[in-house]
Amino acid sequence: MREIGTVAVIGLGTMGAGIVEVFARGGLRVIGVETTQEYADRGHAILTASTERAVAKGRLEEAEATRILERVTITTDFTELAAADLVVEAVPEVLALKHEVFGRLDEILAPDAILASNTSSLSITQIAAGTKHPERVLGMHFFNPAPVLRLVEVITTLRTDPALAKAVVALSKKLGKKPVVVQDRAGFVANYLLFGYFTSALRMIEHGHVSREDLDTAMRVGAGLPMGPLTLIDLVGLDVCDHIGDVIYVHTRSAMHAPSPMLGRMVTSGLLGRKSGRGFYTYAKPGSGQVVDDAQTPAAVAESGLSSVGVIGTGEVAEELVSRLEAGGYVVVQVADPQDSAELAGLADVGLVIEAQELDLNLDDLEELSEGDELPGADLDDLFAELGDLTGPETVLASVNSVAAVALGALSGRPGRSVVLRVHEPTDNGQVIEVGRTSVTQDCAISLLREVIAQIGAESVVCRDRPGLVVDALLIPHLNDAVRMLDEGYASVKDIDAALTYGLGYPMGPFAMIDRIGADEVLAVCEELSWSGSGLPPESVAASPLLVERVLLDLPFTNV
């Protein structure tokens, strides 16, 4: 087949102009095509502004920027595409429009030229139906901003000539990109996984499970992702997300991708995110990334005057809490043996009690027990009831163990001042401590906990006490969905991990995350979410058979 030396890009919006820059930076001659001179001038301005920013930031030499622009020809004349070895269409996501473009190209291009679509969600097979030569059509999906993000999804159909896919993969590597080859499935890899996650996050907001700020903090800090889901949706555009989500759902009918009624209403109302100045957040002006206060902005946390905290337990979590609380300036009363009434009496005057016993037992512990022996550790029911009698009415009671906040409140007789805590491992973005509340938990108790969590150097996420709270309820089904994708033959472990790392900026791919967390832990959370009536779609929390298989065989997903 012919060598790819000249590339054409049809459609010079932000995405198309970015693709032009990628090819020109790679030393190729590029022809950019628009429908009107006004749009052509706009595309040239986008390209020029991008290279100027790169020069200003020291990422590009001025002489090289000049050479990049010299390689680009921008026109409104389709006949100039005759010299192109590869054409990438980047027109709006309307199938009829793409058919019109590809139909025109049949009469202009050489028979061995490659046709590629940058569609983010439409079927490449359906797009190829608009040309007389479907065997030379494939998808070449760049991610925005194209000059920065390295991922390129190369999507093949049943008719695509395998030699063309190999040529596009080789070209992508030459451009410094990370290509992954994917079959023509709805959403391909990155968007399919991303939009299932988006739908779950939107459901949490719509149901009042968590605030927008805490939702984003949970996933940015607690899960270590580049940004929270609502910030990302605002960046991409609510209208774009609504459209892509609808396309994926039409093709899959997956409950995980069912359209969000709230998102649709916001789009109809003109709340499109950064580009309109309002979305889930409010921005300084349309197109700005500067978030400004609005009616939903949380008030500053008031100082509680808390001086002492009680910690029950001596395990790893308890000892870390004691250390960090003391470093935060609190007087800590630690109860090593919760069955010792004298020790528990020392908690009478503290303003916050955290039950943090190590209750996990290993097989050796169980084998040493004789018939009639009690399990180590205080009975939690008795402990919470005793704490309700011992402590003052203003004391806040919390537990880091798997117990419902409503049960803690009922047993202690302190329903308005009882919560559960989930202390997450730190990520590169910090550490999250989740606070699970009930419908009657008092705001003053939440304010006190936010203050304490900030004082010990973590970030708080407050939500309703439901299985998985926020971090696990969003992250674990997202990871399980990646395993399901692998099991169904979408793509390999390597390509799925690369798609989310290079396309979405994840610190590591989903399979690397599973191996770090532990497949057994991921499975356990899936089962908890499935058994406990979490309110999530059953298919999103039902563990993939492949996940169960890896746990039973004690096999990692990566490096095998």
Q: Could you give the residue numbers annotated as active site? A: 120, 141, 153, 191
Alpha-carbon distances, residue 360 vs 339, 376, 402 (angstroms)? 18, 10, 11
DSSP bridge pairs for 352:
309, 396
First-to-final CA distance of the chain: 36
Residue 3 contacts by C-beta under 8 Å, 6 or more apart in sequence?
Answer: 85
Q: Based on DSSP, count helices (H) and strands (E) in the chain, helices before strands.
A: 23, 17
Alpha-carbon distances, residue 129 vs 8, 88, 120, 216, 248 (angstroms)? 21, 16, 17, 41, 19
Query: CA–CA separation, 44 vs 33, rounded Å?
Result: 10
Max Cα-Cα span within the chain: 91
Query: CA–CA separation, 381 vs 169, rounded Å?
Result: 61
How long a stretch of residues is the chain? 560
Alpha-carbon distances, residue 493 vs 257, 335, 512 (angstroms)? 22, 47, 9
Reading the block at residue 508, the tokens are 């590591």
Question: For 265-359, where are the E strands, in sequence order?
Answer: 282-283, 291-292, 308-312, 331-335, 352-355
DSSP bridge pairs for 396:
352
Query: CA–CA separation, 94 vs 488, rounded Å?
Result: 28
- What is the sign, positive or negative, of the torsion defined by CA atoms of 547, 550, 555, 560? negative
Residue found under tokens 């949706």 = 233
Residue of 315, 354, 317, 316 whose CA lies nearest to 333? 354
Q: Within 10 A of 285 (CB to CB), how many other CB atoms are there?
A: 9
Burial 399-426 (b: 16+ CB within 10 A, else e): bbbebbbbbbbbbbebbebbbbbbbbee
Query: CA–CA separation, 66 vs 47, rounded Å?
Result: 12
Query: CA–CA separation, 261 vs 530, rounded Å?
Result: 24
| Coil, strand or helix at 74 | strand
